[in-house]
Homo-oligomer: A and B are copies of this chain.
Amino acid sequence: MNRNTLLLSFGALALLATSAWSADPSSEAIASELRDKALRGESIAWDFVSELTTRIGPRPAGSPAERAAAEWSARKLKDLGFENVRIESFPMTWWVRGTERVEITAPSPQPVVAAALGGSPPTPAGGIEGEVVIFPTFEDMKAAAPGSLAGKIAMVARPMPATQDGSGYGVAGIARRDGPTEAARRGAIGYVLRSLATGGARFPHAGGARYDGARVAIPSFAVSEPDAQQIERLVKLGEKVRLKLSSTASYVSNATSQNVVADLRGSERPNEVLLLGAHLDSWDLGTGAIDDAAGMAIITGAAKLIAQAPRKPKRTIRVVFYGSEEVSQPGDIPLGGRTYSTVHGSEIASHMLAGESDFGAGRVYSVSLPRGAFASPFGTALTRVLAPLSVVPSSVPPGNGGADIAPLEKLGVPVFVLNQDGTNYFDYHHTPDDTLDKIDPAALSQNVAAWAALVWLAADSEVDFRALRNSDSTAKR
């Protein structure tokens, strides 16, 4: 072996060390290799979620912190090689929590761990005080007669079950969304909700309530699970329980939120877009690690792995970080998703497929595709590539792809869902305890692996998901 041969060998070894690709890999081989790189932790996902949540912390919709997160994200996407990175702003009202305090004043004074619901109005400076009236469910409160809650503080005490797919939250959510309005209609001066939460830790779970005009109807709070139990026990001991609610919440009506949009341009069909969404804003109590910096990290980590593949996929991959997912007022559709579908209205007919990551970093256990897609060449390859991740084809098509892409769905864009295990998601969601340490790095990597494989295969495919969907919905096979 002479010196040149030795150098050549070193060069070949270095090439082998930096790429595991064969000379002309198939689309499925690339998907498998992207999956394995992600599983080995070779994505930027952990660093992304760590740096975002550490540098910026909480990112309430419409706040300067959300703006700072958008600017940080845009710089990061450019540094990672994304193209056409832009920040698309829109006006909104920024609700500011201020200082707040909930306490039991009778039968004997004790503090209550609670957080005002998003959009809740301030109380008078001295707070408001009244006897609490407990309803087991929202429906029980709605059955109360008009005026029957005059001067009272209404409380809905329904506990939320932990479920793998988050369906417990869906059922309980109406009590947060519509509780203040319905309590006010019956004369209540305040509203208290047992947190939409699992796990039993003494954290309040924030979240938005429906606006009644420009604000939530009456001062409204989520109390922690142990505090809800405490109030219930006091009532069961035969006591009249009085609560005092204080809040200096305020509204900044000329605030701004923004979406961040970035592309990886496709090689053959650049006008055909695969959209990957997650949201930029968070509630103010935690640092928004699981909700939803994790989702931002998953989709960005997956897209960046694809950008490092030996060739570009045929279609364009678009990453969208939506602002103001947590706030939809006025109306029911989050502001960021609503804005995207307006601003990009002319492009939506060429959006081939969309998916959203907004359920923490729990492991993916199944995949839902548009009807007919599992039988396509894309679907059969995907099923094989996801099998080693313990991800199975879901027997039901995607019900709801996510809050931010819902407007796209309405406009005919097919969606996929990588269904995550959310059994413990609501232990942390919207609480002060939604922090980086609640993310399992291995589970995060598994998410990136599943996203990278699916997005690569879909972007490199010629399957027309829109046509599949249309043919299927007309034929009703």
Where the two chains meet, the residues of A that have a C-beta atom closer than 8 Å to any C-beta of B are: 50-51, 54-58, 65, 68, 104, 107-111, 113, 200-203, 225-226, 229-230, 233-234, 237, 286-287, 431-433, 435-437
Contact = CB atoms under 8 A, between A and B. Distances in A.
Given A57-B104, A237-B55, A436 B113 contact: no
Contacts of A226: 433, 435-437
Contacts of A104: 57
A448 B108 CA distance: 29
B108 A230 contact: no
Given A202-B286, A202-B432, A230-B287, A108 B65 contact: yes
Contacts of A57: 104, 108-111, 230
Give the top 7 A-B pairs by smallest Cβ distance, nearest first. A57-B110, A226-B435, A202-B433, A54-B233, A202-B432, A226-B437, A200-B437
A237 B234 CA distance: 48
Nearest to A236: B54
Copies in the complex: 2
B433 A201 contact: yes
Contact of A50 (B113, B233, B435): B233
Contacts of A234: 54-55
21 contacts: A54-B230, A55-B108, A55-B234, A56-B108, A57-B109, A57-B110, A58-B111, A65-B110, A68-B108, A110-B287, A113-B432, A200-B437, A201-B433, A202-B286, A202-B432, A202-B435, A226-B435, A229-B435, A229-B436, A229-B437, A230-B435
Given A55-B108, A65-B109, 11 more contacts: A51-B237, A54-B230, A55-B234, A56-B110, A57-B109, A58-B110, A68-B108, A202-B431, A202-B433, A225-B437, A229-B435
A58 B54 CA distance: 33
Contacts of A55: 107-108, 234, 237
A143 to B, nearest CB: 28
Residue of A201, A230, A234 with most partner-chain B CB within 10 A = A201
Contacts of A286: 202
A197 to B, nearest CB: 13
Contacts of A58: 110-111
A428 to B, nearest CB: 9
Contacts of A50: 233
A304 to B, nearest CB: 20
Residue of A58, A229, A237, A432 with most partner-chain B CB within 10 A = A432
Contacts of A203: 202
Nearest to A57: B110
Contacts of A287: 110, 230
Nearest to A50: B233
Contacts of A433: 201-202, 226
Residue of A54, A111, A229 with most partner-chain B CB within 10 A = A54
Contacts of A109: 57, 65
Contacts of A432: 113, 202
Contacts of A237: 51, 54-55
A279 to B, nearest CB: 19
A101 to B, nearest CB: 9
A261 to B, nearest CB: 24
Contacts of A431: 202
A247 to B, nearest CB: 14
Nearest to A58: B110
Nearest to A434: B202
A99 B51 CA distance: 31
A58 to B, nearest CB: 6
A227 B131 CA distance: 36
A391 to B, nearest CB: 28
